[in-house]
Chains A and B, each alone.
Chain A
C-alpha cells in the first residue's frame, strides 16, 4: 500500500521539501511542455552535426563500398565490429536496470529506468547500423534471415553464432522496445491530459487511450513483472551470443571459453558508464536533482566498480590461461598486446577499465559528480579499446607471419564512428524533449514511502531507534540536493 513506510536506515529516493504528486508531474514534464533551454539547443546542434557526418560517411561507404574503410585481407574486421560490439554493450544497462533491478525490488531504478531504456534502444539502433554497413552491400542483410530463396532454398546456417546473433540482437531490440513503450503509456497519458489541441491529439494516439483504471493498472503491473522476468535471461543471452561470434573461432585471442561471462560483465560495465555520462548531465540540465539523487549516482558507481572488477579478473584469467595452455600462438597473441605495435591500445584498455575504476573504492570519488562523469567517459573509452584490442590486435598477427599487417582507419571509418555517437545523442536529445525522461507513475509510488519528507515525518513522530536516525542523517551528508542546515539543528 502507498502508506507503507520504509526502514529509516535506507537513504531517501526523492529529496526536497513539500513535494506533491502534482509537483512530480510538473517537474518531470517541464522539458516536454516548455521550449528547451540554451543547453539543449547547443547539445542538439552539435549532435545533429555528428549525425550529419554519419549520413555523409555511411553514404560514401554505400556508394564506393567498404573499400573506403581501412580494412585489408588480414584485418577484415576493425572499427565496424568494434563499434558494433561497443554499442551493443552500451545497450545493456537499460534493460538490466528495468528488468533485473525490478526483480530484485531495487526501488532506486524507478527514476532512472526510463532514460536508460531509451538509451538501450538508441544504442542497439546504432549497433545495427554497423551490421548493415559492414556487409558492404547493405541489401545483403536480407540473406541473414531464413527466407525462401532461388538457391534451393539454401537456408541460413543455424549452427553459426553469426545467425544466433541476428536472432539475439533483433529479439533484444524488439523486447526492449515493447517493455519501454508499455511503461511509457501512463506517462504519455499524463502529457495528453494536460495538453490541448494538436499536442493532445498526438499524445492521445501515442498513449493508446490509457485511463489509469484499476484493472489496467493491475494488468500493467503483471505485464511489467513478467516482461522483467523474460528480459533478465535475455539481457544475459545477448552479449553471451555476441561473444560467441569470437569465442567459437580458431583465431588465437578469440578462441577462449571465458568470453561469455567476460563480455556480459563488460557490457553491463559500459552500459552503466553511459547511463552515468548521460544522467549526470541530464539531471543538471533538466533540474531533476530531487529525483536522480546522489544515492542513485553512488549506486551506479558501485555497479561500475563491481563489473569493472569482474572484467579485471577476466583479463587476468585470460592471461593465465594463455600461459597455462602451452599453445605458442595463443601465448604470442597475449604477449603481442604489450610488445607489439598496438601496445598503446592495450594500455588504454587495461588502464581505463581496470586501473581507473579501482578509484571508485573511495566514497569521495563515488559521490563526486565531476569525477564520476570523467570516469564514466574513461570507462567508455576503455571499453571501446577493449573491443579494438580483441578484434584488431588479435587479427593483425595470427598464424602466418607473411600475412601480418597493420590497420589504418580512413576518414570514413572515423566518420562512421563519430557520426554514430552523433546519431545516438540526437535521438536521446529528441527523446527528452518529447517523452517523459523519468517514469512519472513509478516515481510517484515512492513519494509516501521513500522520500526525504516522508522520512522526516517519521523522525518527527519519534518511535525510532536513535542510532538508526543518526545513521540515516550521516548518510544524507553526501546528498547535494538536500538542505543540510535543517538536519544540523535536529
Chain B
C-alpha cells in the first residue's frame, strides 16, 4: 500500500487541463478537485458543479434590507414621533426611496458576500488547503484521490498523455500546513 494520498496532474495551459479532465473522465477516474490561478469557464460543468444559488441569497437579503429600513422609518416618523412639517403628510413615501434603496443594496451585497465566504469556508485565519503552491501562480492542477481502484501508474500515463508537465504524488493532503 503506497502512502500517496493525492495524485496531482500539473498543467501549464488551461486548454490542456481541460483535455486532461476529459481524458480522466473517459477513463472513469474520479477527479477530487481542480485548482487554477484564474477562473476557467467550463470546468464547473465538466465536474458537475451546480450553478450558484447566491443570486437568490442576494435577492432575499435585499428584500430584508429594504423592508427593515422602511419599517424603521415608518416607526420613527409615523408612529413614534410624527412630526408636523408645514402641515405636510407624516409619511411621504417618495422621501424614503433613497434610504430604502441604499439599505436594499447594502444588505444584498453584504448578505451575499458573507454567504459566499461561509459556504466556501473563507474567513481570515483559515489555514489554506493548498495542494501545490504554484496553483495560484502559473500552474493548473488536477487533484485525484489516490484511494480509487485505478492503478497509480495508469493515472500517471493518462495525465502525461494529456499534456501534464509534471505528475506529483503527495503523501500529505495539503502542503500548506507545513
Which chain B residues numbered 25 to 53 have a C-beta less than 8 Å away from chain A? Answer: 33-44, 47, 49, 52
Residue A211 interfacial (CB < 8 Å):
yes
Residue A210 interfacial (CB < 8 Å):
yes
Total A-B residue contacts, Cβ distance less than 8 Å: 205
The digit string for A146-181, where 1 denotes a CB below 8 A from any CB of B, is: 100000111111110101100110010011001100
Asked if residues B136 and A190 are in contact (CB atoms below 8 Å), the reply is: yes
Give the complex CA separation of A175 and B114 in angstroms: 12
Kindly list the 4 A-B residue pairs having the minimum CB-CB distance in the complex, ordered from nearest: A209-B126, A22-B138, A21-B138, A155-B76
Given the known inter-chain contacts A1-B40, A226-B54, please indicate yes or no for A185 contacting B137, CB distance below 8 A.
no
Give the complex CA separation of A153 and B79 in angstroms: 12
The digit string for A60-91, where 1 denotes a CB below 8 A from any CB of B, is: 00000000000000000000000000000000
Residue A455 interfacial (CB < 8 Å):
no
Give the complex CA separation of A164 and B97 in angstroms: 9
Residue B99 interfacial (CB < 8 Å):
yes
Asked if residues B109 and A175 are in contact (CB atoms below 8 Å), the reply is: yes
User: Distance in Å from the Cβ of B178 to the closest Cβ of chain A?
Assistant: 11
Given the known inter-chain contacts A168-B102, A445-B39, please indicate yes or no for A20 contacting B138, CB distance below 8 A.
yes
9-residue interface stretch from B80-88, B145-153, B154-162: B80-88
Residue A221 interfacial (CB < 8 Å):
yes
Asked if residues B137 and A190 are in contact (CB atoms below 8 Å), the reply is: yes
Given the known inter-chain contacts A208-B122, A219-B120, please indicate yes or no for A155 contacting B52, CB distance below 8 A.
no
Q: Which residues of the other chain, A, contact B40 by a CB distance below 8 angstroms?
A: 1-2, 217
Q: Which residues of the other chain, B, contact A231 by a CB distance below 8 angstroms?
A: 105, 109
Give the complex CA separation of A124 and B134 in angstroms: 36
Asked if residues A217 and B39 are in contact (CB atoms below 8 Å), the reply is: yes
Q: In this complex, what residue of B is CB-closest to A187?
A: B136
Q: In this complex, what residue of B is CB-closest to A172?
A: B102
Residue A234 interfacial (CB < 8 Å):
yes
- Categorize the interface residue count of chain A: 35 or more
Asked if residues B81 and A154 are in contact (CB atoms below 8 Å), the reply is: yes
Residue from A171, A185, A448 in contact with B105 in the complex, judged by beta carbons closer than 8 Å:
A171
Give the complex CA separation of A445 and B43 in angstroms: 14
Q: In this complex, what residue of A is CB-closest to B135?
A: A212
Asked if residues B58 and A25 are in contact (CB atoms below 8 Å), the reply is: no
Asked if residues A146 and B38 are in contact (CB atoms below 8 Å), the reply is: no
User: Distance in Å from the Cβ of A23 to the closest Cβ of chain B?
Assistant: 8
User: Distance in Å from the Cβ of B104 to the closest Cβ of chain A?
Assistant: 9
Asked if residues A211 and B135 are in contact (CB atoms below 8 Å), the reply is: yes
Asked if residues B136 and A212 are in contact (CB atoms below 8 Å), the reply is: yes
Asked if residues A159 and B95 are in contact (CB atoms below 8 Å), the reply is: yes
Interface residue tally for chain B (C-beta within 8 Å): 67
User: Distance in Å from the Cβ of A470 to the closest Cβ of chain B?
Assistant: 29
B contact set with A: CB distance below 8 Å: 14-15, 18, 33-44, 47, 49, 52, 54-55, 58, 62, 72-73, 76-77, 80-81, 83, 85, 92, 95-96, 98-99, 101-103, 105-106, 108-110, 112-113, 116-117, 119-131, 133-138, 176
Asked if residues A175 and B136 are in contact (CB atoms below 8 Å), the reply is: no
Asked if residues A193 and B39 are in contact (CB atoms below 8 Å), the reply is: no
Q: Which residues of the other chain, A, contact B116 by a CB distance below 8 angstroms?
A: 182, 219-220, 222-223
Asked if residues B137 and A193 are in contact (CB atoms below 8 Å), the reply is: yes
Q: Which residues of the other chain, A, contact B130 by a CB distance below 8 angstroms?
A: 193, 211
Asked if residues B123 and A178 are in contact (CB atoms below 8 Å), the reply is: no
9-residue interface stretch from A10-18, A32-40, A199-207, A456-464: A199-207
User: Distance in Å from the Cβ of B42 to the closest Cβ of chain A?
Assistant: 5
Given the known inter-chain contacts A167-B99, A189-B136, A218-B44, please indicate yes or no for A208 contacting B83, CB distance below 8 A.
no
Given the known inter-chain contacts A190-B136, A213-B33, A227-B113, please indicate yes or no for A155 contacting B102, CB distance below 8 A.
no
Q: Return 19 A-B CB contacts under 8 Å, by A number.
A: A3-B14, A20-B138, A146-B76, A155-B81, A156-B76, A157-B83, A164-B98, A171-B106, A175-B109, A182-B113, A208-B122, A211-B129, A214-B34, A214-B36, A231-B105, A233-B101, A237-B102, A440-B37, A445-B39
Q: Which residues of the other chain, A, contact B109 by a CB distance below 8 angstroms?
A: 174-175, 178-179, 227, 230-231
Asked if residues B36 and A217 are in contact (CB atoms below 8 Å), the reply is: yes
Give the complex CA separation of A441 and B133 in angstroms: 15
User: Distance in Å from the Cβ of A415 to the closest Cβ of chain B?
Assistant: 33
Residue A442 interfacial (CB < 8 Å):
yes
Asked if residues B54 and A223 are in contact (CB atoms below 8 Å), the reply is: yes
Q: Which residues of the other chain, A, contact B34 by a CB distance below 8 angstroms?
A: 213-214
Q: Which residues of the other chain, B, contact A482 by a CB distance below 8 angstroms?
A: none
Give the complex CA separation of A185 and B39 in angstroms: 13
Q: Which residues of the other chain, B, contact A153 by a CB distance below 8 angstroms?
A: 80-81
Q: Which residues of the other chain, B, contact A226 by a CB distance below 8 angstroms?
A: 54-55, 58, 108, 112
